[in-house]
Amino acid sequence: MLTRFIVAAVLVTASMTIALAAPARIIILRHGEKANKWKLCDTGEQRANALAANYLGRGAAKSLFASGDEPAFFFAITLHTLELASPAVASWNKPVILYSVVPEADRDKDTQTKELNQRTQQAASNIMTNPALAGKTVVMVWEHKHIANAKLEAKFEGEAVTLRKLLKLDILPGVP
């Protein structure tokens, strides 16, 4: 009986620790406009600079961060998302945590998608269970289909592959 109680107490404590490890706020952005598989086009680069100047960078005109608050970490997954995040990240003197999936000329689309699925799952798990992120704000700049995409979710039915499913955003009121 005592052993069951101890096991139950350990499990409850562990699950509470995981629940308490979640960030207070997650800001999710999709990558900017692309020139090709490896880089943003001029418009995408302008968008990256505008996002930093207006919303995400230190001293931004309409900052998404309250006075005295700052992003704990920035996360990215592809070269496009890294490029979009870079101006904001540089303004905070922070690193980017990259769950990298780099395009390769000879890699087929299905293999690339599966790699993006796996890295998205790993990132979401880390963000939701890492005690270093507890109560903090994190910024995720992500590949758009892996943020929310009904077609991708249907293709991998039974496996959460988008941030909408992995972070359980689909159960929040008003979230499509």
Query: Is residue 16 predicted with pLDDT exceeding 90?
Result: no
Query: Is residue 176 predicted with pLDDT exceeding 80?
Result: no
Query: Is residue 47 predicted with pLDDT exceeding 50?
Result: yes
Q: What is the structure's pLDDT at 20?
A: 60
Over residues 103-131, the mean pLDDT reads 94
The torsion angle over the Cα atoms of residues 153, 159, 162 and 163, rounded to 10 degrees, is 140
Write down all domains in the chain, each with its CATH number in brackets: 23-171 (3.40.50)
Q: What is the structure's pLDDT at 58?
A: 97
Query: Is residue 33 predicted with pLDDT exceeding 50?
Result: yes
Residue 61's CB is within 10 A of a number of other CB atoms, namely: 9
Q: Which residue has the higher pLDDT, 11 or 84?
A: 84
Give the model's confidence band at 107: pLDDT under 50 very low, under 70 low, under 90 confident, else very high: confident
Query: Is residue 25 predicted with pLDDT exceeding 60?
Result: yes
Chain mean pLDDT for the chain: 89
Give the model's confidence band at 18: pLDDT under 50 very low, under 70 low, under 90 confident, else very high: very low
Helices 42-51 and 79-92, interaxial angle, to 10°? 30
Q: What is the structure's pLDDT at 12?
A: 41
Q: What is the structure's pLDDT at 104?
A: 85
